[in-house]
Amino acid sequence: MENQQEQGTTKAQAEDISSAEGTAVTEMAEENKPQEPVKSDLRTILKAVLASSVVSAMLLVVYDAYIAQKIVALDVKGYIAEQRDLFMGGKISEEQLKRNFDRLEAVKDKVRRNRVIIMGDVLVKKNVEVIRP
């Protein structure tokens, strides 16, 4: 008798477990049904798009200003010729000539790291930034 009662109890427990699992599966299926879109979902998407656009724009500005390599021209040959003419014409003294060459060196040293300096007479196109001392 005890065996029958134990088996009856075991069968009853098994039925309870299977019915509980069936209920859980049904509840999960109901939860996974697509819901109608809500205005808050649209607002969330718009906020995400706006935030992404702002961050992308800021990164492009920072990249362009500080990382991207840019070419600048320094017309050293023309500057030296101009200084030579002024010195030979007596319009500037030797001390002024040295100061002007020091200024040329200072201008060259002030150029930011992401700029590549080329000689001005090498330019083929004139759409490059030209540095003037």
Query: Which ranges of the chain does DSSP label H, i.e. alpha helix?
Result: 2-31, 39-62, 76-88, 94-110
CB 49 within 8 A of CB 104: no
pTM of the model: 0.54
- pLDDT above 80: residue 81: yes
- pLDDT above 80: residue 104: yes
Write out pLDDT tens, residues 5-28.
445 555 555 555 555 555 555 555
